[in-house]
């Protein structure tokens, strides 16, 4: 039998994992500057954590969730997204209390699971990096979160980004809009996809998010949420736009945009990139919005929140398509060439000593001939080779060669063991 990874999963191998590490390190660094702390929550939660929050007409809950009963008959689900678990943890650990400074700002990174049809940038196990900020209603906080998302993608070298912005208003706005949408969609009932027919009365906003081409044609003429906003919701949205303007962040208002999760209200946004690597047109890499009410939904007090989630696979595909250069921080400093069986113990000690001194080092373990070892050193692009044969062993020395200049020096082993950094600086720069 041949073993294969499950459909919709991926192995991330050296060569690509460097890009992942660069993304993660850049994100951590930037999040720290914005003063977001890291939170790590379980990869599975009680099923209700997601079913209650994502919405029971959402694709996530109806089609995509990996849920199962464990051996104790608990109904669990692999997390399909990050926010619900973070909110659950926020409530369970009473982080809403006066002991924490508000807004309470956290970030996460890790795998998410959705049963979807795999394609480029769409997997069953995928990864998100996301942020959440709790405890403030200020539109400026929405903008801080959006600015952070933009800042991150720009810092990672992405260009041709588009920020799409919309508001879903508050509950009163949405109730009014909901009715207008039902009135508009009902005459088209027979033409709608099966999913949309089911959703029309349960949750008509979902119809706007339909992936069905004919549904999309119909909703193109649907009424706009922007015409149903309460004065308060209107004011919030106006301030978000003014703050984005003040920061010089360009955006397009897309009044038909809704999100795949039910918990959003007020500001929602998507940052999209235009790259053929992810199919035609713009693809969303990072998406989020405000979710006032979600903390209450999971048993906490009234406490507003806003955040985003970013798809790492899509990001990495874009970075590779745009050939974004990574800092090379795992170059090989020294390759140790051992000649003859007798030297093996000494090369083992040397390779360890050089690593101890803070440099990267490698040696041969396959009994290769000296010529092949030098070839390996070249292929690995070593800065130096350190060669030791029977004679050097007897003399307690080794030959250090600068591979770029070809310069060679004989160095006492004792010096190497004492301070390899000094051997290198004294040996090659002091002349």
Smallest distance from Mg ion to CB 270, Å = 12
Sequence-ordered list of residues with C-beta below 8 angstroms from that of 23, at least 6 positions apart, any chain? 129, 156, 312, 315, 316, 319
Q: Which range in 9-17, 98-106, 310-318, 324-332 contacts ligand ATP by CB under 6 A? A: 310-318
Among 260, 304, 338, 427, binds ligand ATP (CB under 6 A): 260
Contact status: 161 vs ligand ATP (CB under 6 A): no
From ligand ATP, Mg ion, none, interface partner of 22 (C-beta below 5 to 8 A by class): none
Applying CB under 6 A, which part among 243-251, 279-287, 346-354, 388-396 lies near ligand ATP? 279-287
Nearer to Mg ion, 260 or 307 (CB): 260
- Region 61-100 residues binding ligand ATP, contact defined as CB under 6 A: 81
- Total interface residues for ligand ATP by CB under 6 A: 17
Near ligand ATP by CB under 6 A, which window of 65-73, 146-154, 307-315, 316-324?
307-315
* 114 annotated ligand-binding residue: yes
* Distance separating alpha carbons of residues 246 and 172, to the nearest angstrom: 29
**Partner in contact with 158, chosen from ligand ATP, Mg ion, none, beta carbon below 5 to 8 Å by kind:** none
Q: Using CB under 6 A, pick the residue from 18, 24, 45, 116 that binds ligand ATP.
A: 116
What's the angle, vertex CA 170, arms to CA 169 and CA 175, rounded to 5? 95
Contact partner at residue 336 from ligand ATP, Mg ion, none, CB < 5 to 8 Å by partner kind: none
In the sheet that 44-46 helps form, which strands lie side by side, from edge to edge? Answer: 44-46, 75-78, 67-69
Q: Which of 429, 430, 427, 431 is nearest to 412 (CA)?
A: 427
Q: Could you say which of Mg ion, ligand ATP, none residue 129 binds, taking C-beta under 5 to 8 angstroms by partner kind?
A: none
State how far the Cα of 378 lies from the Cα of 376, in Å rounded to an integer.
5
- The region of 31-39, 68-76, 113-121, 132-140 touching ligand ATP under the rule CB under 6 A is 113-121
Q: Quick one: which of 88, 114, 236, 363 contacts ligand ATP (CB under 6 A)?
A: 114
Residue with tokens 């208002």: 253
* Residue 67 or 415 with smaller CB distance to Mg ion: 67
Biggest alpha carbon–alpha carbon distance for the chain? 94
The CB-of-310 to Mg ion minimum distance in angstroms stands at: 14
Told to check if 122 binds ligand ATP by CB under 6 A, we report: yes
Residue 121 near ligand ATP by CB under 6 A: yes
Q: Which of 285, 298, 334, 424 binds ligand ATP (CB under 6 A)?
A: 285
Q: CA triplet 122, 127, 133: central angle to 5 degrees?
A: 120
**Residue 313 lies near ligand ATP (rule: CB under 6 A):** yes
Is 19 annotated to bind a ligand? Reply is no
Check whether 264 is labelled as a binding-site residue.
yes
- Interface with ligand ATP (CB under 6 A), residue from 85, 309, 338, 427: 309
Tell me the closest approach of the beta carbon of residue 372 to ligand ATP, in angstroms. Answer: 43
What sign for the dihedral angle of Cα 308, 314, 316, 321? negative
Name the residue whose CB lies closest to ligand ATP: 311
Q: Which amino acids are annotated as binding site, given as ranges?
A: 81-83, 114, 128, 132, 259, 263-264
What residue numbers does the annotated binding site for L-histidine cover? Answer: 81-83, 114, 128, 132, 259, 263-264
**Which positions touch ligand ATP (CB under 6 A)?**
81, 114, 116, 121-123, 126, 128, 259-260, 284-285, 287, 309, 311, 313-314
């Amino acid at each position: 039998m041949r073993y294969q990874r499950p459909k919709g999963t991926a192995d991330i191998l050296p060569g690509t994992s460097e890009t992942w590490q660069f993304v993660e390190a850049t994100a951590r660094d930037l999040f720290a500057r914005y003063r977001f702390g890291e939170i790590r929550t379980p990869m599975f939660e009680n099923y209700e954590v997601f079913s209650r929050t994502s919405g029971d007409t959402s694709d996530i809950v109806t089609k995509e969730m990996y849920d199962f009963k464990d051996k104790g008959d608990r109904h669990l689900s692999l997390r399909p997204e990050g926010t619900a678990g973070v909110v659950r943890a926020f409530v369970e650990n009473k982080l809403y209390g006066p002991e924490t400074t508000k807004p309470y700002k956290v970030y996460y990174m890790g795998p998410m699971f959705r049963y979807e049809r795999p394609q480029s940038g769409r997997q069953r196990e995928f990864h998100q990096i996301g942020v959440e900020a709790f405890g403030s209603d200020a539109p400026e906080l929405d903008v801080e979160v959006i600015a952070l998302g933009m800042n991150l993608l720009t810092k990672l070298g992405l260009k041709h980004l588009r920020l799409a912005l919309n508001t879903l208003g508050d509950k009163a706005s949405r109730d009014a809009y909901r009715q207008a949408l039902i009135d508009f969609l009902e005459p088209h009932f027979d033409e709608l996809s099966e999913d949309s027919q089911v959703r029309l009365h349960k949750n008509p906003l979902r119809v706007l998010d339909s992936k069905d081409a004919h549904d999309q044609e119909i909703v193109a003429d649907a009424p706009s949420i922007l015409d149903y906003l309460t004065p308060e919701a209107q004011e919030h949205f106006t301030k978000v736009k003014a703050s984005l303007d003040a920061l010089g962040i360009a955006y397009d208002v897309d009044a038909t945009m809704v999100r795949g999760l039910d918990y959003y209200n007020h500001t929602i946004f998507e940052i999209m990139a235009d790259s053929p690597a992810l199919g035609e047109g713009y693809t969303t890499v990072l998406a989020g919005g405000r979710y006032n009410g979600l903390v209450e939904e999971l048993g906490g007090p009234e406490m507003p929140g806003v955040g985003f989630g970013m798809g790492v696979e899509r990001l990495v595909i874009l970075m590779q398509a745009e050939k974004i250069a990574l800092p090379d921080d795992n170059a090989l400093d020294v390759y140790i060439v051992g000649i003859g069986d007798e030297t093996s113990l000494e090369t083992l000690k040397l390779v360890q000593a050089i690593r101890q001194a803070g440099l990267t080092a490698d040696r041969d373990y396959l009994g290769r001939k000296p010529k092949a070892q030098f070839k390996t050193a070249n292929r690995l692009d070593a800065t130096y080779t350190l060669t030791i044969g029977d004679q050097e062993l007897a003399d307690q020395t080794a030959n250090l060669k600068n591979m770029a200049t070809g310069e060679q020096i004989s160095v006492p082993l004792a010096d190497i063991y004492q301070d390899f950094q000094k051997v290198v600086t004294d040996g090659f720069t002091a002349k």
